[in-house]
Chain A
Amino acid sequence: SAVISQKPSRDICQRGTSLTIQCQVDSQVTMMFWYRQQPGQSLTLIATANQGSEATYESGFVIDKFPISRPNLTFSTLTVSNMSPEDSSIYLCSVDRGDSYEQYFGPGTRLTVT
């Protein structure tokens, strides 16, 4: 498995502001993923982040709202821009071990937008 940390673990933000979430992995991984879990809901993939290339966004998610950086093989950031209360969710990053199709998740960032 991989050890994944996220910062911050939680935050309360005002609408209209932006928050950048960091994801750090203890080993080099090719693919990192960002998921959103709205209150009481399941997980939805926001985007896939490969090092050295632009992130690939899923339907319903756009780069202007959720810009992602992937500067190296152990780190990624997700920014939630111009936040509204509807962005209140848990944001989780995950990594893929490659050939095993096993994804491991970070502890999540619990975001509340007021």
Chain B
Amino acid sequence: AQKVTQAQTEISVVEKEDVTLDCVYETRDTTYYLFWYKQPPSGELVFLIRRNSFDEQNEISGRYSWNFQKSTSSFNFTITASQVVDSAVYFCALTQTGANNLFFGTGTRLTVIP
């Protein structure tokens, strides 16, 4: 069975602080994909990153970075020097190879205070 856990329900940080959003997943599959999506107040889901289970390299994209560790089944997301525009709900999701439906975590609401 697939399961994604985002233990942090809400996080508040002051602008320019760094923040890490945690994601722990469960799957019996050896091949799978992990995702992060951002949902700003407008409601639209914005795709941020996809990582497959064979690629444990960390990735950096501007102020965003992702740390994938299979040993702990975690795929954490760090925002460096947070900005007010980063305020949103962030979802971690999982899918297995050969399937197309995404299993979403419950989301973490990030509030960046100016």
Q: What is the interface of chain A, defined by CB distance below 8 A to chain B?
A: 1, 31, 33, 41-45, 48, 58, 90, 92, 94, 96, 100-108, 110
Contact = CB atoms under 8 A, between A and B. Distances in A.
Nearest to A110: B43
A42 B91 contact: yes
Interface stretch (B21-29, B54-62, B67-75, B98-106): B98-106
11 contacts: A31-B100, A33-B101, A42-B104, A43-B104, A58-B101, A92-B45, A94-B45, A100-B50, A102-B47, A103-B35, A108-B43
A46 to B, nearest CB: 10
Interface residues of B, number: 20
Nearest to B52: A101
A29 B5 CA distance: 30
A103 B43 contact: no
- Secondary structure of the A contact surface, majority rule: strand
Contacts of A106: 44
Determine chain B's interface SS by DSSP, over half rule. loop
B106 A103 contact: no
Nearest to B105: A42
Contacts of A101: 33, 50, 52, 95, 97, 100
A45 B102 contact: yes
Contacts of B102: 43, 45, 94, 103
A31 B101 CA distance: 10
Contacts of B30: none
Determine which residue in A42, A94, A96, A102 has the highest number of CB atoms from chain B within 10 A of its CB, and name it: A42
